[in-house]
Amino acid sequence: MTEKKSSGRGQRDLRVRVKTAKGRKLSSTLWLERQLNDPYVIRAKRDGYRGRAAYKIMELDDKFGFLKPGARVVDLGCAPGGWCQVAVQRVNSLGEQKHKLMGTILGVDLQEVKPIPGAQVYQLDFLEDGADEQVKTWLGGKADVVMSDMAASASGNRQVDHLRIITLCEHAAEFAFDVLELGGTFVAKVLAGGAEGDLQATLKRNFEKVQHMKPPSSRSDSSEKFVVATGYRGRWEERLAAEEE
């Protein structure tokens, strides 16, 4: 790695440059260079968070206020754990905020995740049969918040990647319907691309309010945004059936 000196005033260009190593693709080199120079990556290391995504959930919660002291939160696809770290602080799961309720954070992921102080972390495929009941058992009841920063593996095809993440988000929403308390909140990452219509319609049938936000910490060249559905009303199919009886 090198640091390039600028001309003119003797100032230095502090941007880290990464040389393309033998056997490494140019795209990998560019990604590494972007990571090393990303202010949120640098800030996350300084603040002790496991990734820049921690600031996304902070900004979402600052706007919508769903991570309240005492809340029970499920983080789907929680690796590497940045969202859990933020949630631990905000729902007071360590009891550090005196005279406030203590919340519960439960993270699940396909891969093993390094322990997170204040959070329960389990290796689990949330798509497996019975996963919802298992999560409620671990949680000791239903959740107030189900959140997901999951993304399917990138294929390089924007349209395919969009469809994959929307499908993953739909599965996460179905899981949320099974584990959320009435009045609960669902937060998930999606990609802009035109296939969100069905997901949007489903969420609107099941929640009082559905909004979208692209956090300031989300990269400007990324098509990601987040859906925040608040005021869970219960599965609309069940409500409809009850009304017809």
* pLDDT higher than 90, residue 11: no
Domain 51-244 part of CATH 1.10.1660.10: no
Is 18 or 97 the better-scoring residue by pLDDT? 97
With b for 16 or more beta-carbon neighbours within 10 A and e for fewer, the 138-156 pattern comes to ebeebbbbbbbbbbbeeee
Q: What residues contact 176, with CB distance under 8 A and at least 6 apart?
A: 143, 146, 184, 186, 232
Which of 22, 63, 142, 189 does the annotation list as catalytic?
A: 189
Could you list the residues known to form a binding site for S-adenosyl-L-methionine, using ranges.
81, 83, 109, 125, 149
Give the rounded distance of the alpha carbon of 133 from its chain centre: 22
Q: What's the confidence (pLDDT) of residue 214? A: 96
Q: Please, which pLDDT band fits residue 194 given cuts at 50, 70 and 90?
A: low
Told to judge if 189 belongs to the known catalytic residues of this protein, a careful annotator would answer yes
pLDDT confidence bin for 141, thresholds 50/70/90: very high
Binding residues: 81, 83, 109, 125, 149
Name the residue with tokens 């798509």.
Answer: 127
Range list for CATH 3.40.50.150 in the chain: 51-244
